[in-house]
Amino acid sequence: MTSTSTRHDQRRAATRERLLAAALELFATQGYAATTYDHIARRADVGRQTAFNHFRRKEDFVTAWVQQRHEVLDRQDEAHASAVDALASALRTLAELNEREYPLAKELHDSGVLHAAFALGTTAPRAFATAALRGHEQGEIRLGLNPSALADLVFDTYVTALSRWLAADASYPLADALLARLHLLAAGFRT
């Protein structure tokens, strides 16, 4: 790769990050429905077409936000943890992210776009799949259980618990709810 294409890729990535940050800030402060591409482009200091070039649909900003969270989990080093401990660590991290970004998560939930983002094919985080596969390979998970299905089940449980927590206006600790559900699931899948 030439230095010109590297600089171009870096500028493109920086623009995409600016657009995403602008969109998420606006969604949290003025609402998802009230935020337009013009608002996002103006906040990111780019043209409207540039915003469309990076994010074809407004929902793509939400999908990118979810993906960022998955990437945070991927950077955690849980290689030596048991499957349950690695999953618990990932769920605690997701709880912390949701608590830190509560106004945004609440707005995306209440507007229905968060559910739509999950329904559009968001898969279980790679960290969930890695923990389940490693647990399967190390004999922590009962024979006959598909590690991929287990990762999906934990993710589905997370999505449902998150939705209930947001609907309840964060009236209880999300991490506690997530870990309680994980331990119930673990009672069924551990060897």
Task: Give 2's contacts (C-beta < 8 A, 6+ positions apart).
Answer: none
Q: Quick one: 9 exposed, middle or buried, by C-beta within 10 A (0-12, 13-18, 19+)?
A: exposed
Residues 74-79 have a mean pLDDT of 85
Residues 173-182 have a mean pLDDT of 97
pLDDT over 70 at 120, yes or no: no
d(CA 181, CA 177): 6
More confident residue, 184 or 3: 184
Per-residue pLDDT tens for 24-46? 999 999 999 999 999 999 999 99
Kindly report the average pLDDT of the chain as a whole number: 92
Stated pTM of the model: 0.89
pLDDT over 80 at 122, yes or no: no
Please tell me the predicted confidence (pLDDT) of residue 79.
78
pLDDT over 70 at 121, yes or no: no
Phi, psi of 11 (to 5 degrees): -65, -40
pLDDT over 60 at 1, yes or no: no
- Which of the following CATH numbers is that of domain 58-189: 3.40.50.300, 1.10.357.10, 1.20.1440.230, 3.20.20.140? 1.10.357.10
In the numeric block, the tokens 């940050």 are attached to: 21
d(CA 78, CA 121): 26
pLDDT band at 142 (very low <50, low <70, confident <90, very high): confident
Residues 74-91 have a mean pLDDT of 91
Closest Cα partner for 20 from 101, 135, 123, 140? Answer: 101
Residues 47-68 have a mean pLDDT of 94
- For the domain spanning 1-56, the CATH number is 1.10.10.60
pLDDT over 70 at 108, yes or no: yes
Write down the domain spans for the chain.
1-56, 58-189
